[in-house]
Structure 1
Amino acid sequence: MLHKLGLIFFFLHVALFAEARNRLAPKKFETLPLGSVRPAGWLYDQLQVQTDGLAGHMHEFYDLVSKSDWIGGDSYYSYLEEAGSYWFNAMVPNGILVNNSVINEKAQEFLDYVLDHQDETGWLGPEVGTDKPRFLWGRYPFFFGAIQMVEYDPSQTDRVVSAFHKFVKIANEMLRKGEGVDKWAATRWEDFVLVLQWLHDYHPRGQEELLVDTMVRLKWTGVPWEKVFSEEYFPTGPVENLTNPFGMELSWHGVNMAEGLKALPATYRFTHNQSDLDAANLSWDLMFKYHGRPSGAYAADEMLAGLEAVRGTELCLVVEAMFSGSYLYQVIGDLKYADRVERMTYNALPATLTADMWGRQYLQQQNQIAAKNMTPNPFPEDGPYSNVFGLEPNYPCCTVNFPQGWPKFITSAFLKTIDDRSLVHLYLGPFSTTATLKDDNAVKVTVETLYPFGDTLKTTITAEKDFNYFVRIPSWVVEGTIAIGDGPKKKLAPDQETGLHKVDVKKGVTMLTLELPAEITIEKRLHGSVAVHRGPLNYAFDIGRTEQIIKTDPRESHAVDWQYDPAENWEYAIDPSSLVYHHDSDISVSGILPSPIFDSGMPPTSITASACLINWPLAGDTFASSPPENPECVGPETVITLWPFGATKLRISEFPVVSFGEVVLEDTPYLQFPLQSL
């Protein structure tokens, strides 16, 4: 009832300001067209590994996205209901960024097929079963993919935009009739709002009023995210034994919430209300305060799962939260969004994939001592097979959705200021970028770096005219410096809100050298345990494992399900005062990282810790109990090595604490130690 009254009030309010509501509030930063930002160095290799793996081959054999299934059927996952739409959204940028002609042709074929099957009402794609109602959500990821194709190939603009406008008309009519919104569309309405805002910003065709009206109707027929993410209603722990106050169980669904994180900044653009931005900031803070992971993601083994290290995080959640965080930064410009996205990308994303990216998990764990059929099952809402690495453990959605993670991170790494005069280097890593700024100022940027496996970034900028260049300085950087050309090193002075350091770039060629050192940091977790970080990387004990193939797909020999069991002791407590950072100096000199970089023992960085074995019981046959508080050593003091979280597949990353010296952890939420670096 309250939601309905709010809907009535909102429409009365916007009716009084019809002219104003047809204008959208600007974002702080704009993205560059697909293809303008390219991966280089190890990051290009990582995307090539993805292309050579499951992502680049599933169209050859996987029923849910192979062409034979495009005509549909009754499966929820087929065609534009979910699977095909997810695949297209991911593989458009993947194929273009590695210049893979086969994938690009398949993506074009998919686009043509969908547009060729738009019916006279404007509905896109053939029906999936004759007795199934039309629901809106499954088309949204397809729209994102089509937008990217238009960005890369403007010759397709008229055809795609015309199809979009036809669809908007029928969607608006359906919303007016109370049609098209199932439980998924009710939570994922913000994705369609972003599509409508793209049309409004670039291709309105005089339909601004219809576009904004459709945005409003989507919001008010969906989950009220400003209430879900309010301090009054937000769950502060696992939700399996709680009653959802909105009668919408899927508003606590991890992936829906990852998408919902961008709902409030999207709403701000058509309401112009500061309260929407305030609510967006609060939603981010609440999520990571009560459910956040040292890996950068948050816990939701289907539904929100709290802070326990054994609870799961879904792979779809990771890539959707990365996308939402990028959008939040583009609208609001707060450093915390970019820092968190970078942590997710360099930790949580690779951790849940095999190194060759032929297998993925449905759920990852911070403390994960086995990957197999779980006995008993620690996941209240998901199946016991959820942390197996394979083709489609538990649900197939992550198989077709995970490939968007790396490509969209890359395309979001550089932005333009809203006045079109400045370029922003947001995510740090090896890239090349081309952009044309205001007054036809053609700019090219190349960034050479091992980051996050090194602290130095060497940037070469070529510009036809003077302009302002901004680079993000993460919050974990300590005593960072910048040198222009052969000039002296100067202390960085980033803006406190955006994290951006401004550089006045003159026309011609400019060389920048950034040094971004970081200290080892200790994050306090539940039960007196700690997590270990340096820079954007979370570090974990990589448990040696035995591997067993438990299933092979008859259509593709590379598509196998792996069972991993621990092959060594993992029950360690560490002394946080003993942590020492190590970096392979040979790698620093050569500038070449091994491939695939996210595999056991491959990263050039590690942290050693003094540790000892303790009594740490199992909570089941295949997972660890909570870290013991105040443990006692049952073995001698030893030294263990911690590796970047993303390179570990079995791991301990939330450690019980012991002390072998005088340093004692104080009762503070986050500690930094000025420890020795080698």
Structure 2
Amino acid sequence: MPAGAIKPAGWLRRQLEIQANGLGGHVDETWPDLGPESGWLGGKGESWERGPYFLDGLLPLAWQLDSAPLKAKAQRFIDWTLGSAQPNGMFGPRSNDDWWPRMVMLKVLAQYQELTGDARVVPFMTNYFHYQLQAMPERPLRDWGRMRWQDEVAVVLWLYTRTQDPKLIELAHLLKKQGYDWQGMFANFSFKEKVDVKALEAKRKGEDVFMVDDGLQVHGVNNGQALKASPVWSLVSRSADDRAAIHHQLAMLDTYHGLPNGMFSCDEHLAGRSPSQGVELCTVVEAMYSLEMSLAITGDAVLGDRIERIAYNALPGTFTDDMWAHQYDQQPNQVEVSLHRRPWTTNGPEANLFGLDPHFGCCTANFHQGWPKLTAALWMATSDKGLAATVYAPCEVSTVVRDVPVRIDQATDYPFRGDVAITVQPAQAVAFPLRVRIPAWCRQPVVKVNGEAVAVKAGAGFHTIDRTWKPGDRIALSFPAEVLTERGFNNAVTFLRGPLVFSLPIGEAWVKWRPRGLTNDWQVYPTTAWNYGVAPEATAEEHPIGKVPFAGGTPAVTLSVRGRPVAWKAEEGVADPVPEQVAITTEPVTTLKLVPYAGAKLRITAFPPMPA
């Protein structure tokens, strides 16, 4: 749907307000890279990707919360960017001519046009794309832009739907031709082990692995963004193979690098399946956006399940509860947050600290898109002029269906609870199909319309309700969630309930490492034991949902599992890979309380099975 059609409600609004009150709304006040000297404000400061990254989340956040101060912050960047256009169509800071950061700012401008209708945007984009079409044969895509061509193709096609300019399709083909062949890489996927970065550097005789294909093709953020490549290109090719290719990509990443939180390891390069490996925050938000766009294009309900697993675990799991500090890398089995070099493939010792810009500042600028882009993907329009509930969270939708204004109120405490109440408020009675996603994990879904049950099957993907909708019609969804277990790396056990992944919280001693303006950098040390094996059964207990939705101190759901201490150690602050077999011990069995993944900043998520 157009940006601005969906507004957060309930716990989701509280989460967005936490972001706005934390770094999301104030990072430019404390971080020079986004301060008044930013190159994207006409200054001599950082002039590459960080300004566009920041705007890509700040803009939708500002409008979803209808925040005048945040809108004003975003507008300064927008106005400078639109005013920076050169006679030939090029725009942005003149200190670089890299195609890549402009790809991000184009995403921003598309959202801005939908939110405001600003008449400057379409001719601005048209002039730039015409310039790029002429310039690219002599100045082709390189490094980051070459790997991320699909992000620009998506905006090119957005503009094409509005102008029908044939040069835009010509540009799309050129971007694809010069871009990296992601579909081909995954068709013959050869990266089945933790990447040996030193071997890559030796092979390249010391070349920077971030600037050559050997490193770029196994770079985590590139792979997160690449998930959308084939679905986006299918809009041009109309190929069923292109539409379906994302599932093979996900299968390869899961099989060889999958982590319990729904992501794949990348710290920063693909790192195998051990839950002690990390995943970069940029990869989390970019994978979410790729999946959201891919769901919009393909209509594949399974992508909604993946979005929820990432959004309700990996995304909040990498922030402090107040969102004033974040990690560069998070680990599902994260027993210490401190200065160490193990177990990263590439990253330095700050990689899993909580702070302003640990290790590298890209995530400080880019994390802002996570929650706002999720909000924008909760509902979608359908090709038969209907609506679809695609991802579940509390929200309000304002749209027009078959020329009739329609408002939808979606009240729910999902993912902490399984009930969703949808009230349809058309301005007048109107017939259209409304689809609701049936989560794949739910074995006994219930769908009622105005109190009457309708037949629905587990595993149905999207269930369609086609009727004449009248003001006040209600859909009641119930998705009972059982506690399930998954087996992962070395037969490790992970517990799930609905879209939530559960972890053993380890006692936390927070140590301020250094002040960083309005925030601080933190190390976190364990104060309780973590090395347990578990039995694969658990019972769930629900609790009130707190003001901070994912806070570990007030978990909305807990699991009780039986566990026993086992021989399993940490080295340099990092848990060894989950042992495949553990010795029988005389330690007594105890009851462990697990909390949702995001609530435990030190945690064990994948356990060895408890010996009999």
Question: Is contact 1:456–1:515 with CA below 8 Å preserved after alignment?
Answer: yes
Q: Contact 1:378/1:384 (CA < 8 Å) preserved in 2?
A: no
Deviation per CA, 1:568-595: give whole Å up to 9, x if none.
1111111113x111112xx3xxxxx312
Partner amino acid, structure 1, of 2:36: K
Aligned to 1:601: 553
Quote the offset at 1:247 in angstroms.
Answer: 4.1
In 1, are the aligned partners of 2:220 and 2:267 still within 8 Å (CA)? yes
Per-residue displacement from partner, 1:364-403 (whole Å, max 9, x unpaired)? Answer: 00100011101x5210211111000000001100001001
Q: Aligned residue for 2:107? A: 144
Measure the CA separation in 2 of the matches of 1:447 and 1:437.
Answer: 17
Q: 1-side partners of 2:287 and 2:404: how far apart?
A: 34
AA matched with 1:65: L
Correspondence list, 1:171-190, <5 A: 171-177=132-138, 179-190=139-150
Alignment-derived partner of residue 208 in structure 2: none
Residue by residue, what CA displacement relative to the aligned partner does 1:179-208 show, whole Å, maximum 9, x if unpaired? 15221111011111011000111233xx22
Q: Is the 8 A contact 2:281 2:328 kept in 1?
A: yes
SS at 2:246's partner residue? helix
Q: Paired residue for 2:73, among 106, 110, 115?
A: 106
Amino acid paired to 1:612: R
Alpha-carbon deviations, 1:633-675, whole Å to 9, x = none? Answer: 3421110111100111000000011255xxxxxxxxxxxxxxx
After TM superposition, give the deviation of residue 503 of structure 1 in Å.
5.1
Q: Distance in 2 between matches of 1:367 and 1:468?
A: 44
8 Å Cα contact 1:89/1:144 also seen in 2: yes
Return the TM-score normalized by structure 2.
0.94
What's the counterpart of residue 33 of structure 2? 64
1:473–1:501 CA contact under 8 A, matched in 2: no
For the residue of structure 1 that corresponds to 2:321, the secondary structure is: coil
SS state at 2:574 partner: coil
Q: 1:462 to 1:495 in 2, by over 3 A?
A: farther
Question: In 2 relative to 1, CA 564–495 (structure 1 residues): closer, same or farther, beyond 3 Å?
Answer: closer
Decide whether the 8 Å contact of 2:378 with 2:392 is kept in 1: yes
Q: Look up the match of 2:271.
A: 305
Distance of 1:501 and 1:565 partners within structure 2: 50
Q: What corresponds to 2:577 in structure 1? A: 626
Cα offset, 1:486, TM superposition = 3.2
- C-alpha contact (below 8 Å) 1:453/1:603 kept by paired residues: no
1:357-372 mapped onto 2 (5 Å cutoff): 357-372=323-338
Aligned with 1:213 (options 167, 170, 182): 170
| Matched residue, 1:115 | 82
- Give 3-state SS (helix, strand or coil) of 2:147's partner: coil
Identity of aligned residues (%): 30
Opposite residue 540 of structure 2, the aligned amino acid is Y
Residue 392 (str. 1) matches residue 357 (str. 2): yes
Contact 1:605 1:643 in 2 (8 A): yes
Amino acid at match of 1:381: T
Q: Does residue 1:83 correspond to 2:83, yes or no?
A: no
What is residue 209 of structure 2 aligned with on the other side? none
Q: What secondary structure, in the 3-state scheme, does the structure 2 residue paired with 1:633 have?
A: coil
Decide whether the 8 Å contact of 2:291 with 2:307 is kept in 1.
yes
Whether 1:441 aligns to 2:404 is yes
5+ residue gaps, structure 2, are 205-211
* Alignment partners' CA distance in 1, 2:395 and 2:3: 14
Partner of 1:276: 242
SS of the equivalent of 1:64 reads helix
Whole-angstrom CA distance in 2 between matches of 1:188 and 1:656: 38
- Map 1:350-429 → 2, pairs under 5 A: 350-374=316-340, 376-419=341-384, 421-429=385-393
Residue 495 of structure 1: how far off its partner (Å): 7.4
Residue in 2 aligned with 1:574?
A: 534
Corresponding letter in the other structure for 2:153: V
Tell me, yes or no, if the aligned pair for 1:316 and 1:402 is still in contact at 8 Å.
Answer: yes
Residue of 10, 19, 22 corresponding to 1:50: 19
Q: Deviations over 1:70-89 (max 9, x none)?
A: 356787xx23x200010111
Aligned to 1:169: 130
Taking the aligned partners of 1:639 and 1:581, their CA distance within structure 2 comes to: 13
Q: 1:236 aligns with which of 188, 192, 201?
A: 192
Contact 2:420 2:476 in 1 (8 A): yes
What SS is found at the alignment partner of 1:304? coil
Length, aligned pairs only? 598
TM-score with structure 1 setting the length: 0.85
Separation in 1, partners of 2:293, 2:13: 23
Say what the alpha-carbon RMSD is for the aligned residues: 1.8
State the SS of the aligned residue for 1:229. helix
Q: Which runs of 5+ in 1 are unaligned?
A: 1-31, 588-592, 661-678
CA distance in 1, matches of 2:510, 2:466: 50
Amino acid at match of 2:161: D
Match of 1:127 in 2: 94
Amino acid at match of 2:599: A
Q: Corresponding residue for 1:636?
A: 588
Distance 1:112 1:525, change over 3 A: same
Structure 1 residue 628: deviation in Å? Answer: 2.1
Q: Which runs of 4+ in 1 moved over 6 A?
A: 72-75
Does structure 1 residue 432 correspond to structure 2 residue 393?
no
In 1, Cα distance between equivalents of 2:564 and 2:393: 36
